[in-house]
Structure 1
Amino acid sequence: MSIERGLEFSVLPTPRIHFGAGTLSKLPSLAAAYGRRMLLVTGRQTLRRSPVAASIPDELRRAGIECQCLEVEREPSPELIDEAAALGRQKPFEVVVAIGGGSAVDAGKAISAMLLQRESVERFIEGQPGFMPHDGRKVPFIAVPTTSGTGTEATSNAVISRVGPGGYKRSLRHPDFVPNEAIIDPELMTSAPPELTASSGMDAFTQLLEAYLSPFASPYTDAVSCSGLVHFSRSFELACGAGALDVAVRADMAYAALMSGIALSNAGLGIVHGFASSVGGLFDIPHGTLCATLLAESTRENIRQLRASEGGEVALQKFANASRILTGSTTGNVMDDCNRLVDLLEEWQARYAFPRLGKFGLREADFATIIPATRSKTNAATLDEAAMRRILKARV
């Protein structure tokens, strides 16, 4: 019997996942298994906004855990990570827990990775001068997301940002940085306001779509991406409106975000996240907002390039399939389904009032800096400078 050799792929590690309403109650016992001295990283509004999360510090202390808190206001900077790591070296932490949105979880992940190092985190950030590979040692880390967006609870990288001229938004990465545990409790997400729900949801959707369309996608990542798209499609609009307090709706969105993290880790991302890095390093734009405002135009440009290129049929079929999942129907024609996808994305763009990038200070004069710094090797289509310029110009 011959063995089929065409199907080959590898899968990166995932955390031990605890998914479902009420799973936050597991946190004290899970954390205590790693140690009694904890750094608790939260978003600035996490404990104030969520009645479910508000009691966590007291519950941890009742479990005999000595808990020091650190609030994170925005995407973590190298200075924040270095300061927290220096604090932890004076009084070593045995476990790091992050409860909050993607920025808080990324901060916790990076701190856990740097507590056992002596160098600045910038030495280990991809693409930085003097880059030095990290050895992977870390303090055990538990991720507890409160938004359904980045999927960082399932990834091996933490995004670090320095915003402004010469700035960057790049990753601290190692396979061992995947959280030891991920607690995904949709009850934590019901307090997220509509604008955050919409922008973070679009981040998760962008990651699912870009991983699905990646040239490095596999049957595994296709299955993960499509599963996430199904759950996203039935609950995104509800989560942004009448179903905001429905735990089942929030569970769908949390599942979509989790799947997006797993998919992107194994397949990569596309041009929207390429711009998220290059534009996000220059301007202080919330990551989900940047993804949300660029996705429709980026999808249109990808489809245009794929139609004009040889061998683009498979990717066009995938765009059409994503359209069928989101709309629940098909026109029977691949290109018509692709166009319906763009139409739906533009409808969401208008309905949820995703702002143009010019609101944050981006101008056409900045394109000359942004475009050469934009990486898109895992994008669905090959985009030249003119194509990237069209995308940005449409959303300035």
Structure 2
Amino acid sequence: MSTFDLAVPRRVLFGPGRADELAGLLPALGRRVVLCTGRDPSRHRSLLGGVDPVAVVAVAHEPTVDEVRAATDTARAAGADVVVAIGGGSVLDLGKAVAVLLGNGTDPLDHLEVVGRGVPVERPAVPCVAVPTTAGTGAEATANAVLGSPEHGIKASIRSPHLLAAVALVDPLLTLTCPPAVTASSGLDALTQCLEPYVSPRANPATDAVAAEGLRRGARALRPAYEHGDDRVAREEMALCSLFGGIALANAKLGAVHGVAGVVGGMVDAPHGAVCAALLAPVVEANLRALREREPASPGLRRYADVARLLTGREDATVEDAPVWLRETVAALDVPSLAAVGLQPAQYAEVAGKAARSSSMQGNPVRLTEEELVAVLHAAS
């Protein structure tokens, strides 16, 4: 019999038009709202209806430790007791981190992995409503917040069940205005976050169900969403893929794609999803080689065969069809290589060394050596 825990947001609201319900949710959660947004705070402020936030904080990129600290100080000084985060994954991570820090009276470095003290979060966060405007990170459903630490050249996470949003409000219509490049990079990130938990040794029947469904939906909808941004069916499928990926990774971990991407993201200024996309096929190929050479009886090989069938939609697909489909899709979506986003060969050894120690590697189906990770970086460039 399988035994597992399943951590999910307290409430998930999904569907076209459901963002209109946001203002009505807030009175039961708190009276003093801090709004976390992207670079244009006015863009989605109308979703709050007549609610006037006591503070507004914005982030135009993946939030740094200093930005989270400053946002928390602003929210605390305003007496905020509920956080509303409307935006992409970076905004949602900012909102979740602020909510936890408000609830605990602590500093980001108290809880941050690797570069901080890594102290467990002890008390609940103030309520956080996560409203994604991209279909990618699944941050509305994850129990972590990724923060940048420029002085250390790395991104690290605060992790705790207390980081789960009180409400994940997912309205696919909010993604209709995403430009093609964002649709591609965020969509491939969503697909990765279904694929890696599916082949993870920490997978369980619940994560298998959502990850497989996310792979199936994302594989058939990603290109239509990229080519026809106003395709509401494709946008809904991708929003589900992202949500399901967030649930899957929160409970079954990620693998080498994210282990490497987190390090690369701390060294070059590139969209996280684009980095994941460049790494995806090379990591799958490296994992398949390592499994065949070192762990031929591993269930990971069977799971990759499942992935091939889910991605291609063909029952006769073989394991080898998975990386082929991934390479073709990345090329069709015009995702840049690692070299194009600025990673240099001289940096590969440093990336591989840091990635090998990354917590994201916990979900990889086989341990990859630093030499194998360097080879992945060459293949992705």
Normalising by structure 2, what TM-score?
0.94
Q: For 2:50, what is the secondary structure of its paired residue?
A: helix
- Give the aligned residue type for 1:30: L
Mapping 1:107-122, distance limit 5 Å: 107-122=94-109
- Of 158, 178, 181 in structure 1, the residue corresponding to residue 145 of structure 2 is 158
- Give the aligned residue type for 1:231: R
Give me the whole-angstrom Cα distance separating, in 2, the residues matched to 1:178 and 1:22.
23
Q: For 2:227, what is the secondary structure of its paired residue?
A: coil
- Give the aligned residue type for 2:58: E
Partner of 1:40: 35
Is the CA contact 2:134–2:178 (under 8 Å) kept in the aligned structure 1? yes
Give me the whole-angstrom Cα distance separating, in 2, the residues matched to 1:305 and 1:348.
24
Q: Per-residue CA shift, 1:343-395, capped at 9, x if unaligned?
A: 11111222222112123332222123211211223202221122111101112
Mapping 1:136-175, distance limit 5 Å: 136-163=123-150, 166-175=152-161
- Give the aligned residue type for 1:148: A
Is the CA contact 1:46–1:99 (under 8 Å) kept in the aligned structure 2? no
Shift, 1:74, TM fit: 0.3
1:28 and 2:23 correspond:
yes
Q: Per-residue CA shift, 1:205-264, capped at 9, x if unaligned?
A: 00100000001111211111111112112211111113x212222111001100001100
1:323 and 2:308 correspond:
yes
Greater mean deviation of Cα atoms: 102-111 or 244-253: 244-253
Partner of 1:180: 166
Is the CA contact 2:129–2:168 (under 8 Å) kept in the aligned structure 1? yes
- Of 205, 209, 230 in structure 1, the residue corresponding to residue 195 of structure 2 is 209
Partner of 1:310: 295
Partner of 1:3: none
Deviation beyond 4 Å, 4+ runs, structure 1: none
Report which of the two structures shows the higher radius of gyration computed on alpha carbons.
1
Give me the whole-angstrom Cα distance separating, in 2, the residues matched to 1:350 and 1:66.
43
Give me the whole-angstrom Cα distance separating, in 2, the residues matched to 1:263 and 1:129.
26
Q: Per-residue CA shift, 1:116-155, capped at 9, x if unaligned?
A: 4444211210122433222133211000001010111011
Unaligned runs of 5+ in 1: 1-5
Q: Report percent identity of matched pairs.
A: 38
Partner of 2:206: 220
Give me the whole-angstrom Cα distance separating, in 2, the residues matched to 1:113 and 1:67.
18
- Of 337, 356, 359 in structure 1, the residue corresponding to residue 340 of structure 2 is 359
Normalising by structure 1, what TM-score?
0.91
- Of 345, 350, 371 in structure 2, the residue corresponding to residue 386 of structure 1 is 371
Partner of 1:271: 256
Shift, 1:288, TM fit: 0.5
- Of 114, 121, 126 in structure 2, the residue corresponding to residue 134 of structure 1 is 121
Q: Per-residue CA shift, 1:142-174, capped at 9, x if unaligned?
A: 0000101011101111111123x6222111111
> How many pairs does the alignment contain?
377
Greater mean deviation of Cα atoms: 141-150 or 28-37: 28-37
Partner of 1:286: 271
- Give the aligned residue type for 1:279: V
RMSD: 1.7
Is the CA contact 1:136–1:176 (under 8 Å) kept in the aligned structure 2? yes
Q: For 2:58, what is the secondary structure of its paired residue?
A: strand
Tell me: CA distance 1:227–1:46, structure 2 relative to 1, closer, same or farther (3 Å). farther
Is the CA contact 2:30–2:127 (under 8 Å) kept in the aligned structure 1? no
Tell me: CA distance 1:251–1:82, structure 2 relative to 1, closer, same or farther (3 Å). same
